[in-house]
Chains A and B, each alone.
Chain A
Amino acid sequence: MSTLVTRVRYGVWDGWTMTRRYLTHVVRSPEEIAIYFSVPLLFVLVFGYVLSAAMVVPDGGDYREFLLPGVFVMSMVYGLGATAIAVATDVGRGVVDRFRALPVARSALLVGRGTADLLRAVLEVTVLVGCGVLIGWRVRGSVAETAAAVALLLWLRFALSWVGIWLGLRLRNPDLVGVIVFPLAFPLTALSNILVAPELMPGWVGTVAEWNPLSATAAAARELFGNPGAGGETWPAQHPVLLAALWPLLLVMVFTPLAVRQYRGWGIDPPSAPAVVR
């Protein structure tokens, strides 16, 4: 009984220690977070200014107001790269082995990373909201709706964290992760309603974009923030909030067990498989 209590207490403590560690990384290496900001901000500049004249919102709203919720989602997606790189670095350098050889709760690394990711995401959303307001984006929903929109964004990030953790554990090489994250994430964001409304896309491309999990969160955010571009004829367009809750749940259900299994089964593979050279 008391051992269970002790275990839980240590589990929480160890997880929080690990969270603090990852948050210290943000302070010590702010350029990393700046890199991940730069991608969504670049999209704001390119699409919101350079291409805005050519961009159309189906129900005739302001394109920048349409774009911003999408950019929030994009930022949640690219955060996955930071997660995967951090985890792969730990694994490649043998830091994970060191943790595993300590009497530390097994869950600490994963829980710590997941929590730190959420806190990072809060920071990202705050900065992006600030940038959005500067370029004329406005929240028109109620306080509760706005809070729900932010919660759904964080929920997506939480789910994608597990994808990132799994990817990092699996690839073990931060350089490799750095190379594949963009080609992996870019098509996912392009084939969605983040930049362009799916009804303006040809046939099946539009359907894929409509059902893209990222579209659900973007559409839900638009609806809750009261920005243009929400709604539509199709089922996913009419139920964005429900889908924005369910898609991440599915991701969590698939990738959390995968990541945990990869972490547990660590010792099965040869230790030196793809070594990190530096």
Chain B
Amino acid sequence: MTEPAIVARGLRKRYRRTQALAGLDLTVPAGTVYGLLGPNGAGKTTTVRVLTTLLRCEAGQARVAGFDVRREPDRVRSRIALTGQDTAVDELLTGRQNLVLFARLLHLPERQARQRADELLAQFGLTEAADRAAGQYSGGMRRRLDLAVSLIRPPAVLFLDEPTTGLDPRSRNQVWDRIRELAAGGTTVLLTTQYLEEVDQLADRISVIDAGRVVAEGTPAELKSRAGGDRAEVVVRDRADLPAASRILAEVCTEPPRVDIELRRLTGPVTDRVVALSGLVRGLATAGIEVEDLGVRRPTLDEAFLRLTGRERAAAEREVAA
């Protein structure tokens, strides 16, 4: 029964006008990769800043790696590492100088600092670029250097705030590989991201956050099913056919279909895309309804977000009213 790597209860933080955290709870089991998923401004970065002792919140408690972030910040700091949103490396220094600098700040003796820098440069494929200024690195290289800095002294908990934002797919995959290796080595990783795919690839568990609180928690598979599965979509040529088409769609959907009169479009969630599609084609042909477009598609990231963050209902109501 080991203590969770991160436990946060009722975190609240307010910036002048905005409530950044509105009673956020979080439990991250040790040795897992945990994803914090949410749109811009949801409170992901604020959460990371509170947990990494950079920011004090007005209410709530948090323990990281077994210590209270408010009362024992130095103990927390010596057990965590943070790779923030901006690549926080010194751009005037070379890659090697950056690593040696941070190794010295972690109080490694000079020789050990240099040795560790060499190891990490090799491990992150930066040996050739070691003596070039970090400011001249590509985005992907800078990210890798940033990550390497975080690993000079292997942390108990590693915080990664949007580690792949702005990276090309290749660099992103490289960063993902490093994170997987770390996780395999037993490091607890808290990862924030706006990309569903990223948590899907990496995280054991996810919290979806919006407006400063957790709106959904679970494994990626659980959340995906809650975010809604495939959706059937029919666009009819003649607006008068909408009621008839809606009845046909209703037979293959798990919920009553939604109608957009303006666009002559019907949508509804389905479980089996093949059964649903063939059923729809048959039904519409039998009824003699002319169709402009027909298909079953997966929910987009936007829809998943909107659904989990409860905004879909409001949008749906507007549609019906229209």
Task: List residues of A whose CB falls within 8 A of some B CB.
Answer: 10, 13-14, 17, 21, 24-25, 28-29, 89-90, 92-95, 97-104, 108, 266-267, 269-272, 276
Q: Is B8's beta carbon under 8 Å from chain A?
A: no
Q: In whole angstroms, what is the CA distance A13 to B94 when docked?
A: 21
A99 and B56 within 8 A (CB): no
Interface status of B275 (Cβ within 8 A of chain A): no
Roughly how many angstroms separate A271 CA and B162 CA in the complex, as a whole number? Answer: 15
CB-nearest residue of chain B to A7: B74
B105 at the interface (CB under 8 A from A): yes
Whether B106 and A267, one on each chain, are in contact in the complex, defined by CB atoms closer than 8 angstroms, is no
Contact B90 A13 (CB under 8 A): no
Partner of B46, one of A103, A271, A276: A271
Residues of chain A lying within 8 A (CB to CB) of residue B82? 97-98, 101
In whole angstroms, how far apart are the Cα atoms of A102 and B104 in the complex? 11
CB of B84 within 8 A of CB of A94, answer: yes
B244 near A: Cβ within 8 Å? no
Docked pose: A98 CA to B48 CA in angstroms: 12
Q: Is the CB of A101 within 8 A of B101?
A: no
Which of B15, B45, B88, B92 makes the CB contact (< 8 A) with A25? B92
Does the CB pair B101–A17 fall under 8 Å? Answer: yes
A187 to B3, CA, bound (A): 61
A13 — nearest CB in chain B belongs to which residue?
A: B107
B3-35 interface mask toward A, CB cutoff 8 Å, 1 = contact, 0 = none?
000000000000110101000000000000000
C-alpha spacing A24/B104, complex, angstroms: 14
* One of A13, A29, A93, A269 near B86 (C-beta < 8 A): A93
Contact sample, A vs B, 17 pairs, CB 8 Å cutoff: A13-B104, A21-B90, A25-B93, A28-B93, A28-B94, A93-B89, A95-B88, A97-B49, A97-B54, A97-B82, A101-B54, A102-B105, A103-B106, A104-B105, A108-B105, A271-B55, A276-B86
Most buried by B among A13, A14, A93: A93
Partner of B93, one of A24, A94, A100, A108: A24
B92 / chain A contacts, CB cutoff of 8 Å: 24-25, 28-29
Query: Is the beta-carbon distance between B88 and A267 smaller than 8 angstroms?
Result: no
Tally of contact residues, B, Cβ under 8 A: 38
Bound together, the chains give a CA A98 to CA B147 distance in angstroms of: 12
Q: A21-B93, A24-B97, A28-B93 are in contact. Are A99 and B105 (CB under 8 A)?
A: yes
**Residue B53 CB within 8 A of the other chain:** yes
Complex interface: chain A residues within 8 A of B77 (CB): 101-103
Mark each residue of chain B from 72 to 88: 1 if its CB lies under 8 Å from any CB of chain A, else 0. 00100110111011111
Given contacts A29-B92, A94-B88, contact A17 B46 (CB under 8 A): no
A271 / chain B contacts, CB cutoff of 8 Å: 45-46, 49, 55
Say whether A98 contacts B49, CB under 8 Å.
no
- Given A97-B88, A101-B80: A21 touches B101 (CB 8 Å cut-off): yes
Give the residue of A100, A102, A108 whose beta carbon is less than 8 angstroms from that of B106: A102
Q: How far is the CA of A90 from the CA of B94 in the complex (A)?
A: 16
Whole-angstrom CA separation of A186 from B8 in the bound complex: 51
A269 to B45, CA, bound (A): 13
Bound complex: CA of A18 vs CA of B15, how far in Å? 31
Known: A97-B84, A271-B49. A103 touches B74 (CB 8 A): yes
The CA of A100 and the CA of B81, in the complex, are separated in Å by 11
CB contacts (< 8 Å) of B105 on chain A: these are 14, 17, 99, 102, 104, 108
Per the bound structure, the CA–CA distance linking A92 and B105 in Å amounts to 20
Q: Which residue of A lies closest to B55 (CB)?
A: A267
In the complex, the chain A residue whose C-beta lies closest to that of B15 is: A270
Which residues of B lie under 8 Å from residue A93 when comparing CB positions? 86-89, 91
B107 touches A269 (CB 8 A): no
B192 interfacial contact with A, CB 8 Å: no
- CB contacts (< 8 Å) of A95 on chain B: these are 88-90
Complexed CA–CA distance, A100 and B50 (Å): 12
